[in-house]
Amino acid sequence: MLLELNIKDLAIIDSLSISFGRGLSVFTGETGAGKSIVVDAIDLILGDRASVELIRSSAEEARVEADFDISSITTLKPIFEDSGIPLPADDRLIIKRVIHRSGRNKIYINGSLSTLTTLSEIGRRLIDVYGQSEHQSLVRGEEHIEILDAFGDLPGLRLEMADSYGKWVEVKRNLDELMTSIKKDSEEREFLEFQSEEIGAASLKVGYDESLKSERDRLRNSAALHSASTTAEETLYSGQGSVVERLGVVVKELSDAARFDIELSATAKRIESSAIDLEDAATYLRDYSSALEGGEGGDAVTLDDIESQLSVMEKLKAKHGGATIKELLAKKEDIDTRLGLIVDSEASVKRLSKALTDAYDEAVIIAEALTTARRDKAKEFKAAIENELSELGMKGSIFECYVDTDIDDESQIVKFGEKGADHVSFHISTNVGEEVKPLAKVASGGELSRIMLAVKRLTSIGNVSTLIFDEVDTGVGAPLATVVGRKLKDVSKTHQVFSITHMPQIAIFADTHYFVTKVLTDDERTVTRVRVLEPNERVEQIAIMLGGDDLTETNLKHARELLESAVK
């Protein structure tokens, strides 16, 4: 709701401050007094482009500032957040436009510098101006579906549609992300499989490379090992005068001597035990040496095999940045995990694809229900609007509300959004015999105001709480003006309504009556003044609007009667 408007040095307004309340506010005054300038100032607040021609001739800049209560407007928060505008804690919004002759124009929203684009987005949610202004939601095609749904009282279906569409969007997003991931993974899949198989084929175990190196060293030095083990075996056991043979002699001699001294018996047994151990060691050396001899002719193959395995390991280590076998095994585990995820992802695709089909089918069912409801309500809306227009002096007008379902030409699949699958458009013919055409192309400013008045009478749409009717009485006679006034009064029960009028039959319904005049200042300059009329002043102003400048008792009486009739 607009609470206050401050204007400085705009056209013939030097300084003006107007406070506003709820209900119906009417502006009257002589032609050229400046009523349209007030609307121009509001247009600037809503995002109209500024012109230096609007600046008062004696000033370097013009300023317009508006204070709004936005507690009932729910669509502004996202714009504030996206634009970095501080969120008002007290639900107040202050917009200021500064127009400078140099072209250095500025826009302030809640004290922050802003852009014309942001202001326009905010402005279209604050006020609708019906007349010559461009701020007319009625000519914006995207608003027609909102109007019809509000008339049809379809918030339940709309909420179901929004929820269903949201589910479909979420599933589709998840599936798209998964498909993108799979496409990327599938391009790597062969490479990942190759890496896994390559590492797996090496039969890696922690410490296996060191074991192979030891075996390689043994095989490389097999001749020396054979010579050493053979010599040792012969020295210990099989050679002439071997250690075991000589120890056998020693044991026999000590055993014989033990007959004379029993203490030598223990020593003889110890030496005999050592001889047995040495004989076992010699047996091992003989077998070890025989094994080396038996390997001749096969050692080269075994050695080559070991060298080959070690070479594979070293190449794998180098390929993966000097990794250890432990790191290679960890890498293979990671690769196998990723490959497993790809397989799991392919299963998820099937699951999500089914979920997407289910979500689509559900959304289509709700969208079709919305379409059916809208087409039924469109017929009622047509009849109701035509009846309202007839009462508003547009008899014979034909109004059409078309509901067209959006279907893809190629696939013949229903295309839906959070509002359903329909495109709603208003067409009208205001002259008998003329075919209906899009409303925005054929309706004049005054006609648009009356059509919107009819719409507002039938429904309360959107979050725009303030309506300005600038030409609603164009071409309207006294009897019809009374009808228009009553309808404006009805609309003002749910909206803040402003009407700029020259018809007393409309002015009598005002909750607040503003009188706009031109006065001559002491320095011989013409300026606009706006003031709220007191009850007695109101009677006089209505009388003047009825009969000219002569305040006859007859005109005053008629004025009082009209004002009294307005409150019945």
Helix, strand, coil % (nearest 5) of the chain?
55, 15, 25
User: Whose CA is closest to 47, among 105, 131, 111?
Assistant: 105
Q: What is the DSSP string of 439-496?
A: HHHH--HHHHHHHHHHHHHH---SS--EEEESSTTTT--HHHHHHHHHHHHHHTTTSE
* Predicted local distance difference test score (pLDDT) of residue 272: 87
Give the C-alpha separation, 311 to 321, whole Å: 15
* Predicted local distance difference test score (pLDDT) of residue 492: 92
* Predicted local distance difference test score (pLDDT) of residue 462: 58
Here the tokens at position 133 are: 């202004």
Within 258-324, residue ranges assigned H as helices are 264-294, 299-319
CB 472 within 8 A of CB 484: yes
When pLDDT is cut at 50, 70 and 90, the band that residue 362 belongs to is very high
Give the C-alpha separation, 460 to 491, whole Å: 9
User: Whose CA is closest to 422, among 433, 430, 414, 413?
Assistant: 414
Residue 68: exposure state from Cβ atoms within 10 A (0-12, 13-18, ≥19): buried
Place of tokens 């390929």: 319
* Predicted local distance difference test score (pLDDT) of residue 538: 95
Read off the DSSP letter of residue 78: H
Q: What is the DSSP string of 131-172?
A: SSSS--GGG-HHHHHHHHHHHTT-HHHHHHHHHHHHHHHHHH
Answer yes or no: is pLDDT of 489 > 50: yes
When pLDDT is cut at 50, 70 and 90, the band that residue 299 belongs to is very low
For 146-162, what is each residue's pLDDT tens digit? 899 989 999 899 999 99
Answer yes or no: is pLDDT of 184 > 80: no
When pLDDT is cut at 50, 70 and 90, the band that residue 245 belongs to is confident
**346 against 405, higher pLDDT:** 405
**546 against 31, higher pLDDT:** 546
The SS3 call for residue 259 is: coil
* Predicted local distance difference test score (pLDDT) of residue 552: 84
Strands (E), 178-285: none
Place of tokens 């008899």: 395
User: Which range is least confidently modeled, 54-58, 188-192, 269-273, 419-423?
Assistant: 188-192
* Predicted local distance difference test score (pLDDT) of residue 548: 73
**443 against 233, higher pLDDT:** 233
For 189-213, what is each residue's pLDDT tens digit? 777 767 777 777 777 777 666 667 6
Answer yes or no: is pLDDT of 8 > 90: yes
Q: What strands, in cross-sheet order, belong to the sheet with 496-500? A: 127-130, 466-469, 496-500, 24-29, 512-520, 526-532
When pLDDT is cut at 50, 70 and 90, the band that residue 300 belongs to is very low
User: Whose CA is closest to 149, among 373, 425, 418?
Assistant: 373
Q: What is the mean pLDDT of residues 477-485?
A: 88
For 9-68, what is each residue's pLDDT tens digit? 999 899 999 999 999 999 998 877 788 889 899 999 999 888 898 999 889 999 999 999
Find the helix or strand (DSSP H, E) in which 253 lies.
helix 243-257
Answer yes or no: is pLDDT of 92 > 70: yes
Here the tokens at position 168 are: 């479909």
Residue 26 burial (CB count, 10 A): 26
* Predicted local distance difference test score (pLDDT) of residue 168: 95
* Predicted local distance difference test score (pLDDT) of residue 20: 95
Residues 6 or more apart from 67 whose CB is under 8 A from it?
A: 2, 3, 4, 5, 92, 93, 94
* Predicted local distance difference test score (pLDDT) of residue 288: 81
* Predicted local distance difference test score (pLDDT) of residue 512: 96
Give the C-alpha separation, 225 to 223, whole Å: 5
Find the helix or strand (DSSP H, E) in which 97 lies.
strand 92-100
* Predicted local distance difference test score (pLDDT) of residue 298: 44
Q: What is the mean pLDDT of residues 537-543?
A: 94
* Predicted local distance difference test score (pLDDT) of residue 408: 80
CB 368 within 8 A of CB 413: no
What domains appear along the chain, each with residue ranges and CATH number? 2-126+464-533 (3.40.50.300), 187-339 (no CATH)
**413 against 121, higher pLDDT:** 121
User: Whose CA is closest to 377, among 144, 128, 162, 136?
Assistant: 144
> What mean pLDDT is reported for the chain?
85
User: Which range is least confidently modeled, 124-128, 201-205, 263-267?
Assistant: 201-205
Q: What is the mean pLDDT of residues 107-125?
A: 92
Answer yes or no: is pLDDT of 533 > 90: yes
Q: What is the mean pLDDT of residues 499-519?
A: 93
* Predicted local distance difference test score (pLDDT) of residue 249: 85
For 61-91, what is each residue's pLDDT tens digit? 999 999 999 988 888 888 988 888 888 878 9
**244 against 107, higher pLDDT:** 107
Give the C-alpha separation, 234 to 242, whole Å: 7
Q: Give the CA count within 13 Å in the CB-facing half-sphere of 321.
A: 2
